[in-house]
Structures are given as structure tokens and as C-alpha cells.
Structure 1
């Protein structure tokens, strides 16, 4: 079962890579268009608060896709309501190019302890690293490295975002949203929903904490 899930992830990545060519973004123009984004995401895409995600360095293809989904309403984010109205596909590509050209600042990982479903108490970061790098064969959770790389840099051409340095609170929130189906922006392949549906609360919290300091 694990091999089948991994195979589907790889296949999805190849299909995304082979998708129709996206218009190249103009970072210089994107900087002008993204001026209003600074209030929440920071002037360079490094949000000062975990309430809002860091979007610096996430990858141009991924960001363009997410911006389109937010603009078109398929990804509903109340705080983004109306922010992208009137923006063309090229405008969004330009904005994505600008933020993707910036360097992500690490949020920093915080150590702690978690109680697993078995009752065992483990180190949050050690357990998070184990799940991120090896997955969990028993619960059918694949390693995160397959799509997001061992260092969390992602796979920009395939549209898999950088995770390294993202706020733990944001990663945790998104994994829970994928698990419940509240977030369905992973396309017909359902890559993230297929992964998150098998993750326990402890696995989600541990992975999110580990990613915040991954580099």
C-alpha cells in the first residue's frame, strides 16, 4: 500500500511537471503589484506573524497556482477576500515571481514533548524528524522528503512548495485542513489529502514543529 501511495505521488509530480507551460513571471512588476501584501506577509514575503504564512521562496509555479485558486474562489481564505480581484493570470505570475525570488527566513523549531496514541511520550522534534524523513509504514504515511526534499526546499518545477522555515502553526493548520478535506487545493491527485488523512494529531504537530527549523 505504501509503495502504491508513493507511486501515485511520483506520478502526480511528473504530470505536474509536464503540464502546459506557465507564463513566466516578471519579478520587477510583481514587486509593484504586491505592495499591498506587505501588511500581512511582509515586504519580502516573510510574514512577521504565524497568523499569516511566509510566502518567500515557496516556488513560482506553486504560488501562481495558489493565487489563482484564491482569486477564483476555489481556495477560500477570508483574510484574502477581494485582495486579488481584477488581477490577471500574468499579474499573479508576476507576484509569484517576486515572492519566489526572496529568501525564506527560518521560523525556528521549538522542542517539546508529545504523547502518542500508544501512550508513549516522545520528543516533538525527534519524532517530527522521523515522520518527515521516514513516514510511518504502519499508518500508511509516506515520508515528506519524496515531494518536499530532505531539506524542505520543495520541488519548484513540479509545483511542490518549500516548507523549510514555515511557521509550525501554519503547517499544522494546513495539515489538519487537508485531513478533514477543508482544504482541497492539491488537485485531482489528492496528494496532500491522501497523506494527511492517515496522520495522527501527534504526527501532524511533530512534523509541523520540525519543519519550522528545517534547513
Structure 2
């Protein structure tokens, strides 16, 4: 038993050694200062709000977020509220990298935490505020799974966690995703593909998009 405990302790020490350097290298205080104005819309933990009017950005790919901030700055992606915040004098490149890295490492659990008797009311409140569960969207989940795995998984990952410059989709507000899809189809927002009608989104049939959205909401690891 004592040997097992020692092995377990060694495991956590080694894990900490692996995880600690990247987190230690992140200037969290500075990142939070940069993020301050963003919290007014995206919330203190990057969960977004107003039923998807403001998207979730916590846990999103740092590369993707940095890319989008630059797109807002250059107005390649038109978003008038974002433009003043991303002007070069307000948000230089190094600040973009830092705040993107900071947001990428924030986890928003989908299960209520288990509290200790010693946890005070503020600790409990802050922990509950970080929980984010996107309501289940209507649609055929099985059909959505088939469409997603065939059309979307190559870029966004099999479990929609994102990949490199492609954003995480799981855990995002359904209304926000639908709004962005509509913007892509109308060429109001540039997609990573050409905006020509040969892009992946243009190949979806009938209710495919709604079925995919339903499937995405089913991927959340929600407890009983």
C-alpha cells in the first residue's frame, strides 16, 4: 500500500513537471489585465453570453483566436464592436498572443463540482459560474454525426475540439454557430475555403446543418 502511494505521488510530481512550465511561462496577471475589457461581453471566464450573441472563447484554439483578432483588426472580418479593441495601439501582436494563450487554457466544466465542507460561499459561486452546458439542439443526431464526420471532422476534429487554425465547435452556442454559418453562406464572413459555391458548407443538403448542430450539442460530457 505504501509503495502504491509513493508511485502515485511520483506520478503527480512528474505530471506537474510536464504541465507547470507552459503555465508558469504565461503571465496570467498581464493576460487578465488585457482581457479585462473583453469580459464585459464574453464574461469573466470567456463563456460568452446572451444566448450566443457573444460567443464562448474559453478553451478555443490560441492560434485560431489570434488569427481572428488580426482579422478584426484588419477588418478582413467585419465586426464593428471588436474593431476598437483590436486596433494596433490598443492590442499589439504580443498582447494578442498572450490573451489568446490565456483563454485557450481556461476549462469550462459541464459537470457540477464536488464541494468540500470547508469551501465557502464565494468559492462555490465562482465554481458554479464556470459550468457551461449548451442546451440540446433539435435535429437528427445520427444523421448529424454522419454528415459531420464526412464533411467537417477533417478540419475540426472527430470530437469537434478544433485543430490548429480550425476552431473548436463543441461547447459553442448553437445560435452563434448558426449565425456564423449563415454569414459564410452569404459571403459576409470569409471562410478558410474559397467563398465560391464549391466550399464544404455549400454541399450540405436540406436539414444537414441543423442535424450537425444537434450532433454537436450531444458531444458535451454532461453528467447524469
TM-score, structure 1 normalization: 0.70
Is 2:65 the partner of 1:39?
no
Q: Cα 1:192–1:80, aligned 2, differ >3 Å: closer, same or farther? A: farther
RMSD: 2.4
Alignment-derived partner of residue 119 in structure 1:
none
After superposition, the Cα gap between the structure-2 partners of 1:110 and 1:35, relative to the gap in structure 1 and judged at 3 Å, is same
Query: What is the CA–CA distance in structure 2 between the aligned matches of 1:62 and 1:27, rounded to whole Å?
Result: 20
Q: Kindly provide the CA deviation profile for residues 11-65 of structure 1, in whole angstroms up to 9, marking residues without a partner as x.
A: xxxxxxxxxxxxx975542221011111111111111321111001111111001
Structure whose CA Rg is larger:
2
> Equivalent residue for 1:108?
134
CA distance in 2, matches of 1:36, 1:68: 17
CA distance in 2, matches of 1:152, 1:130: 13
Equivalent runs, 1:1-215 vs 2, <5 Å: 26-49=27-50, 50-85=52-87, 86=89, 87-105=91-109, 106-112=132-138, 123-133=139-149, 135=150, 142=151, 144-155=152-163, 158-186=164-192, 189-190=193-194, 194-200=199-205, 202-215=207-220
- Give the whole-Å Cα distance in 1 for the aligned partners of 2:186 and 2:86: 26
Instruction: Name the count of aligned residue pairs.
Output: 170
CA positional deviation for 1:214: 1.8
Q: Per-residue deviation at 1:183?
A: 0.9
Give the SS at the match of 1:95: helix
Q: Relative contact order, CA 8 A, sep 6+: which one is greater?
A: 1
Structure 1 residue 201: deviation in Å?
A: 5.1
- Structure 1 unpaired stretches of 5+: 1-23, 113-122, 136-141
1: distance between equivalents of 2:26 and 2:95? 8
- CA shift at 1:78, angstroms? 2.6
Q: Given the superposition, is the C-alpha separation of residues 201 and 180 from structure 1 closer, same or farther in structure 2, using an over 3 Å criterion?
A: farther
TM-score by length of 2: 0.67
**Unaligned regions of 5+ residues in structure 2, if any?**
1-24, 110-131
Is the CA contact 2:141–2:218 (under 8 Å) kept in the aligned structure 1? no
